[in-house]
Structure 1
Amino acid sequence: MVGSPSADQTGLPEGWEVRRSNTKNLPYYFHPATKDSRWEPPAGTDPEKLKEYMAKYHSSKGVAPANLGPQDGKIRCAHLLVKHRDSRRPASWREPRITRSKDEATALIEEYRSVIKKYEANPNDPEGKSLSELATTESDCSSARKGGDLGFFGRGDMQKEFEEAAFELNKGEVSDIVYTASGVHLIQRLE
């Protein structure tokens, strides 16, 4: 694509564009005229258009994770996070202010879990998607840019409920619904 994509394509307010960080290899939002840069989308963003644009041009399929090799006592997981208004930070790259209830967040996660189960039963099912595919467009965590991949972590690195669920999983397995102060999660153990 030559030049910057238009606001019609990205869903960002006029003047804003998506760039990729050289140090973190992650997309961020930049306004060249004001030199304002941020990890979260600016106010006035159309979340549906941004979601489509990010899935098409900033999907992580085939991108190697930052922490490449396994480390003693550490596991690697991906997750899909749905925040709610009582989450410790009720905002995300998708929504500047999250107002859904915990019950609504749980209902969304349950829908995502059924889509993942369809994919696990038959990867060719058009109604199924992997956790990584869903996380790229639906997760309220910035790890969405990496298909939900959190890299390697050890005990004591994550919130207690998240850690306990993650360490109980076998490689490739997706957790049941996990509640933490951050919101509602599905976790998949990658390594």
Structure 2
Amino acid sequence: MADSGLPAGWEVRHSNSKNLPYYFNPATKESHWEPPTDTDTEKLKLYMATHHTPAARNDVDGRSEGKIRCSHLLVKHRDSRRPSSWREAEITRSKEEAIEILKVHEQRIQSGETSLGDLAVSESDCSSARKKGDLGFFGHGEMQKEFEDAAFALQHGQVSGIVETASGVHLIQRVQ
């Protein structure tokens, strides 16, 4: 793997909601929009130019080989990496409460009463809610591992069970 210039344990990921790269440490679950302290900025510039421009990411037209498209419904809890959202300035619910909320949503989707996208508009703690939870196209290494593993295991149109990540708990639907 190319040297990104980031300190040990850090990696570059891509935010689909903001369409920007960010810096993530899977061991500590820390994420930042700005490079972490002790980054070799010259190496990082080269790495970003090579690996994170639209042409390098192969998604100028919105999709590329090996990428999938998913929507999701996120319910955050007080132990989420950022326990706030467009819906609530401070999220105080427990992880167990978040899972119970998601189980109710899951039942409504499975029964055909509503769709994940329609629920996401009002119930998701992700900014993708305004797009019915649509995260756009992404490939391997662009999402949190638990999310990615669940998303790539889905068939077209299928909705996952509850998936836990550092961001909270999700229902994921593979769209393409």
Over residues 81-112 of structure 1, what are the superposed CA-to-partner deviations in whole Å (9 max), with x where a residue is unaligned? 00000000000000000000000000000000
TM-score by length of 1: 0.60
Indicate the SS of the match to 1:78: strand
Q: Are residues 1:105 and 2:98 paired?
A: yes
Q: Tell me if the contact between 2:157 and 2:173 (Cα under 8 Å) persists in the aligned partners.
A: yes
Please list every run of at least 4 consecutive aligned residues from structure 1 whose deviation after the TM superposition is greater than 4 angstroms. Answer: none
1:78 aligns with one of 71, 75, 78: 71
Q: CA RMSD in A?
A: 1.6
Q: Partner letter of residue 156 of structure 2?
A: K
Deviations 1:90-143 (A, max 9, x none): 000000000000000000000000000011xxxxxxxx1100000000000000
**Which residue of the partner structure matches residue 7 of structure 2?**
none
Report percent identity of matched pairs. 65
Change (3 A) 1:107 1:150: same
- How far 1:70 sits from its partner (Å)? 3.6
- 1:153 aligns with 138
Q: TM-score, normalised by structure 2?
A: 0.65
Residue matched to 1:94: 87
Partner of 1:162: 147
1:181 is aligned to 166
Q: 2:50: which partner in 1?
A: none
Q: Which amino acid aligns with 1:136?
A: V
Letter in 2 for 1:181: A
Alignment match, 2:118: 133
The AA in structure 2 aligned to 1:186 is: L
How far does the alpha carbon of each residue in 1:4-63 deviate from its partner, in whole angstroms, 9 at most, with x for none? xxxxxxxxxxxxxxxxxxxx8xxxxxxxxxxxxxxxxxxxxxxxxxxxxxxxxxxxxxxx
Within 2, Cα distance between the matches of 1:75 and 1:159? 15
Instruction: Tell me, in whole angstroms, the C-alpha distance in 1 between the residues paired with 2:97 and 2:167.
Output: 15
Structure 2 residue runs of 5 or longer lacking an equivalent are 1-17, 19-59
Aligned length in residues? 119
Residue aligning to 2:29: none
